[in-house]
Amino acid sequence: MLGTQVYDGFFQIVNGSFENPLLRLAVMAVVAAVLGFGFVAPFVTMAIWAERRVAARIQVRVGPNRVGWFGLLQGVADGIKFIGKEYILPSGADAFFYQFAPVLVFAAAYIGFVALPFSQFMVVADFNIALFFIFAITSLETIGVIMAGWASNNKWSMFGALRECVQVVSYEIPLMLSLLIATVMYGTMSLMQIQDMQDGAGAAGILAWGIFRSPLFMGLGAILFYTAGLASCKRAPFDLPDAESELVAGYHTEYGGMNFGMFFFAEYASMYIICAVMVLLFFGGSNFFGLEDIGVNIPLDAIGVKGVLPLYLGNLILVGKACIPYFIMLQLRWTLPRYRLDQVIDLCLKVLLPFCLVCIVGQAVWSLCGMDDWAARMFPEAVPNIGEFAKKLSAAGQ
Amino acid sequence: MPFELHTDELLVNMGPQHPSTHGVLRLMLRMDGEIIKEAIPNIGYLHRCAEKEGESLTVNQFIPYTDRMDYLGAFNNNMGIALTAEKLLALDVPKRAQYIRVCFAELNRIASHLIAVGTYGIDLGAFTPFLYAWRDRDMILDIFEKMIGARLTYSMTRVGGVLYDITPEIESDILKFCDHFDPMITEMDNLLSFNRIFVDRTAGVGLIPREQCIEWGMTGPIIRATGFDWDIRTREPYSSYEEFDFQVITGKAERGVLGDCWNRYYVRVKEMRESLKIIRQAIDKIRATQPGPDSIRAQVKKVIRIPQNEAYVRTESPRGELGFYLVSDGSDVPYRMKIRTPSFCNLSGFEEFTRGQMLADVVAVLGSIDIVLGDVDR
């Protein structure tokens, strides 16, 4: 595929330039990390800007509007400020873990992007367990947060860490179970294949999206995933680990400068992961009425905008779709009060968990009855048939 | 294999620099996990010898110092000390001055309740209602600025009346504010009061029963939230409050139970509506009186010597019963000044009502009591 060609070309260049295999690996790792960062960093900067502007609009304020157009470069200015700040180690803190925690949190959120598709062609690594990989890696974030709370030698930080223990670890269960609902339907955990299955043509193509294939169970699954995702990102109304009015700033009370910046960055990166996975599983990924396929047939060596158009059109569609759940996250944060710890756990165990289990069973029955393809039967031209797709996949595998 | 888990209590210092202690209150929390074993308030960080100041200054000189006690309800403090001196001097305050006082006392009450309601949202994690409250409060502060030049510490009363007369422009500003603010209370209801999470967090939390309120001397919205109509404005009317038609708001337990955090919060919201009613009537009454220097201040001497006597006057400040006890030995400064501030009494039972609750509830209870540390420490 097109994306693979880009990466192949890149790897060929690197392979040809360095003799020493270790050096080659190191250079490839650094360059790949920088390329990935090139996507994640602007997105996070924009996300922070959007958060502040939306919050300001909701709260009858103006918000950042001085740095760049409409304050668009505010995130960059903030980053420079973070880097320029003095490094402070609180007295009595565990120096190693204090410093390691933000790095771990940052790395965990960032590695998740390895398996997260950027468009229908572009992904760093197309695992067959991509979905599982993303959430296995990003859940390392929890360890970093607990580490930060414990190492800071501050009681409020420790409370934040303990709350993180209780809340985020509990919410991993409904989060993973809600992913299982989608997995039952698609029969695969590869996000690229899941995207391909949702690729429909024309106006009826929208019915190929996961949520329309099984409106009841996948619809409920989307809500469950979103709620559990909110809690695992520590977003309001589940922002207990860094509840300002209760725990000062929770686990990052003692962090300043770029160390805090890394927590901040990780929060928005993992928010994007939640939103993007939600779009990928339930809302068709980068498919949008065939718009994503414009320019696919143009060969890659056609230099200029045309050549990279299909790469970025799909990406824009994916990010654009992910902005909608992100925007809802912002609205929730700036509207709702915060739950109490026992209420958060109540919601997890008494509401989300039973609903998840019911949805998994329901979806399994729905899929067994072949109901996933109801749209494919009605519009055979427009909507691909999941069953046939799976057959083709297994044939290709053999 | 027997496994024994050893757990310890944790002593946590909440404050004096903590986002939700509403100033420089320090709470020492003995905690078992998230459960509070004991919450001991430690006060005095803002002690400014207000009573001693009152004994070394004349009453008119002392008025600016009363601003600094309950700085969110500064006008109510000004009025309290002025009323006490007037009672001792047996002064007859002109009607127009009394109505102006009522009008601005109620405006100040709304401003204070807006802070209480808005910061209560912040305490529970909702930031936006606070800024809405701030926007509306700014209009009140603008009115005060036009009237007296100050936005927070007004020093507006003098013994015998008020400093400046109200102008028609300010009158129309106040009416404009009333028209603007009425729907904003409904907005606050929609945004916060009946929000499911907000109700979950506050209904049935931090119960303070009526008997306990009376025992601890807790007044204001706290006792009214238990369904008891204790309001000095109707019980012992001052400054012509008896001429005004308004209801004493008591808790009705639309959500939760009487005497819980939600009812304390909602009493404040409803009181803002009643205050608007009083303000509208006050403007009508002011318009019916004649302006002029004699109608805003009674004739008093330059140096006020209070006759040898003593008096206790209590008024209904936004936070509850505010009392000034003044003993005079006939000289120009009081012999003894005792100030009974509502926040101090309201905070006194805090330890008892937070025992066994969760950390998040301590913040909720503290916010619903609505203390001002200047008022607690004096």
Which residues 143-202 of chain B have a CB within 8 Å of chain A?
191-192, 195, 197-198, 200-201
The beta-carbon neighbor of A58 closest among B122, B125, B128 is B128
Q: Is the pLDDT of residue B328 over 50?
A: yes
Q: How far is A237 from chain B (nearest CA, A)?
A: 8
Mean pLDDT of A173-181: 90
Question: For residue A353, what pLDDT is reported?
Answer: 92
Instruction: Tell the residue number behind the tokens 């006690």, with chain if given.
Output: B69
Question: For residue B41, what pLDDT is reported?
Answer: 87
Q: Is the pLDDT of residue A63 over 90?
A: no
The beta-carbon neighbor of B197 closest among A55, A334, A337 is A337
Residue of B nearest to A235 (CA): B125
Q: How far is A101 from chain B (nearest CA, A)?
A: 23
Q: How far is A179 from chain B (nearest CA, A)?
A: 27
Q: Is the pLDDT of residue B275 over 50?
A: yes
pLDDT per position as a tens digit, B70-112: 888 899 999 999 999 998 888 888 988 999 999 999 999 999 9
The beta-carbon neighbor of A246 closest among B13, B198, B360 is B360
Cα(B345)–Cα(B341) distance, rounded to whole angstroms? 7
Mean pLDDT of A298-317: 63
Non-local CB neighbours of A366 within 8 Å, separated by 6+ positions: A185, A214, A216, A217, A372
Q: For an interface test with A, give the residue of B180, B363, B368 to mutate (most A CBs within 10 A).
A: B363
Q: Is the pLDDT of residue A169 over 90?
A: no
Q: Is the pLDDT of residue A307 over 60?
A: no
Q: Is the pLDDT of residue B246 over 50?
A: yes
Question: Does residue A21 have a cis bond before it (omega within 30 degrees)?
Answer: no
Q: Is the pLDDT of residue B138 over 80?
A: yes
Interface touch B131/A60, C-beta < 8 Å: yes
SS (H, E, C) chain B: CCCCCCCCCEEEEECCCCCCCCCCCEEEEEEECCEEEEEEEECCCCCCCHHHHHHHCCHHHHHHHHHCCCHHHHHHHHHHHHHHHHHHHCCCCCHHHHHHHHHHHHHHHHHHHHHHHHHHHHHCCCCHHHHHHHHHHHHHHHHHHHHHCCCCCCCCEECCEECCCCCHHHHHHHHHHHHHHHHHHHHHHHHHHCCHHHHHHHCCCCCCCHHHHHHHCCCCHHHHCCCCCCCHHHHCCCCCHHHCCCCCCCCCCCCCCCCCHHHHHHHHHHHHHHHHHHHHHHHHHHHHCCCCHHHHECCCCCCCCCCCEEEEEEEEECCEEEEEEEEECCCCCCCEEEEECHHHHHHHCHHHHHCCCEHHHHHHHHHHHCCCHHHHHC
Q: How far is B197 from chain A (nearest CA, A)?
A: 6
Q: pLDDT-based confidence at A325, cuts 50/70/90?
A: very high
The beta-carbon neighbor of A244 closest among B12, B19, B34 is B19
Structure tokens at B48: 């400014």
The per-residue pLDDT of chain A, averaged, comes to 82
Q: Is the pLDDT of residue A226 over 60?
A: yes
Mean pLDDT of A181-204: 82
Cα(B135)–Cα(B181) distance, rounded to whole angstroms? 10
Comparing A171 with A379, the larger pLDDT belongs to A171
Q: Which positions in chain A touch B120 (Cβ < 8 Å)?
A: none
pLDDT per position as a tens digit, B252-272: 888 888 888 999 999 999 999
Comparing B26 with A292, the larger pLDDT belongs to B26
The beta-carbon neighbor of A246 closest among B13, B195, B359 is B359
pLDDT per position as a tens digit, B279-308: 999 999 998 888 887 888 888 887 888 888
The per-residue pLDDT of chain B, averaged, comes to 88
Interface touch B34/A58, C-beta < 8 Å: no
**Helix (H) or strand (E) run with residue A306 in it:** helix A305-333
Question: For residue A239, what pLDDT is reported?
Answer: 84
Sheet order of strands, B309-317 included: B309-317, B320-328, B336-340
